[in-house]
Amino acid sequence: MQLKRAVITGLGVVSPVGNSVEEYWKSHQQGQSGAAEITLFDAEKFKTRFACEVKGFDPLEYLDRKEARKMDRFAQFAIASADQAIADSGFKESGTDLDEVGVIWGAGIGGMDTFFSEAINLRENDYNPRFSPFFIPKVITDIAPGHISIRHGFRGMNFATVSACASSTNSLIDALNYIRLGKAEVIVAGGSEACVAPSGVGGFNAMHALSVRNDDPKTASRPFDKDRDGFVLGEGGACLIVEELEHALARGAKIYAELAGGGLSADAHHLTAPHPEGLGAEKVMERVLSDAGVAPDEVDYINVHGTSTPLGDVAEITAIQKVFSSHAYELNISSTKSMTGHLLGAAGAIDAMATVLAVKEDLVPPTINHFTDDPALDPKMNFTFNAAERRTVRAAISNTFGFGGHNASVLFKKFSS
């Protein structure tokens, strides 16, 4: 069976560094941080009092008031980013059969704040069960792709992927494989998350996972820096339209890049810590290269998982050096989480968007907030510190690794017929 090819024909985003693709990419080019003091709740008593919140987002720009009240913030982000990407792609206006359009959406947690609020209400009402009738539909992760399909009438496959921080990369890989097999013409894929909430910040603080650099939030996310002390929690949503190549060409679609391959692996090591030798990361990159049919020396850029944790950053670089050997020193490496923070289940989609744009624009976004070299990391590696770099990007990988040892990678390359 001849596998079909998949291309990216639309993008949409709601993020800590911009609520449109144009704003988001401009912020990446300029190396802007989205971190600031938390405004969504009173964080005074928390160890971490800052995050990468989405700013200036009004759900009523996309939804009427009644619809918005039925949705958790993570689902509102899903609607907004999907609406943007669908409009950007233009496939609906081209007469695409909506029976052949699917939605696959990733979220690691879903309606965390809704769950927290309902639990507080239950306790304050002396456990008198006065739950909102929308409690369950607002909480469940799969409601985001459900809302997108209902809103637009898409009747293809519709489900959610949940693999912690790898969730939305899994959505892209599933989309790629359904397109390859001819099971859909267009798939709306991506992820959203909204965990800047008391339970989210408090829970990650209890794990000692978050930075506590409260005196300087904007420089707190510092992947590969010697003094990194944990990740910065982010929120938002990102959507990529994955389309079968011949369908895209037939309607004259603009093509950002080809989604050429996906890789999956498990660390099989620890609940939260990466394998110290980066074995899962090594295997997932080997698999994405094999799946894409791309040689290691054809890859020019890797958007690393790079969360700014002491163990994770070192393990990933170790894996890159094993997989790419001497070519590891010719690659550009950067972590866009230094700007957006870590969007958990949405991280894969928002990082993939930066990777797609790097391929399209031949511009590698930077790893910002680098001050001190880490002696545990090879200084000859090109971490693209503090400033974007222009170079030809023929092919690029986006890595995401999740709690539980879930590893997922996607490879994008310049489109060529």
Active site residues: 165, 305, 342
Cβ atoms within 10 Å of 88's Cβ, excluding its own: 18
Buried b (16+ CB within 10 A) or exposed e, 51-84: bbbbeebebeebbeeeebebbbbbbbbbbbbbbb
Contact 400, 165 (CB under 8 A): yes
Contact 190, 238 (CB under 8 A): yes
In angstroms, the first-to-last Cα distance of the chain is 20
**d(C-alpha 70, C-alpha 230), whole Å:** 34
The single-letter DSSP state of residue 15 is B
Got the DSSP string for 262-298?
A: EEEEE--S-SSSPPTT-HHHHHHHHHHHHHHT--GGG
Side chain identity at 286, as an amino acid letter? E
